[in-house]
Structures are given as structure tokens and as C-alpha cells.
Amino acid sequence: MTRVTGCGKPYHFYAITAESGVSVDCDAHTLLGAKREASAWMSFGGGSVTLIDKATKETWTREFWQSGRSFGWNAWKKIA
């Protein structure tokens, strides 16, 4: 599903689901924009996050890791 803005750039709709149970919809011009929004949600303590393109069903995940007092997120990985 896409929509077009006045300037002609299409939006794509994505579903963002965090490990904490938070689920939101996102519309972005590019996959990179959707990944940035999903990463912003992770900064609120969401843990690992999954991003799904609603039109193509393409699925990406970014996993949270913790080792002692250190923590972070792995790179985005396409899973479907």
C-alpha cells in the first residue's frame, strides 16, 4: 500500500513491533526512513525490534544485546 504526497513521492506503510510489546504503524518514503523511526522507538527501551513492509511483507529485524553493563543493537538483518 502506498500513497503519494503533493510532491509526487510515494509513501510506504510499515508495521513496527518491539520486543516489549509496543506496536505502531509508520509511513516513510524509504526503507531507511522507516528503519530510523524504528530505531528511535528502540531508544525508549523497546528491546529488539521488527519492521514489516505492509505491501511487500519484507521483514527486517534489529536485535538488542546485553553483556554485563554493556548493551547495544546489532545491525539490521533481513529475515523474509
Residue 49 amino acid letter:
V
- Does the pTM exceed 0.75? yes
Cα–Cα dist 71/4, whole Å: 39
Q: Is the pLDDT of residue 72 over 70?
A: yes
Cα–Cα dist 52/61, whole Å: 9
List pLDDT tens digits, range 16-68: 998 888 888 988 988 999 999 888 877 777 788 899 999 899 999 999 888 89
- The DSSP 8-state label assigned to residue 31 in this structure reads H
Give the closest residue to 41 by CA, choosing from 16, 12, 74, 13.
Answer: 16
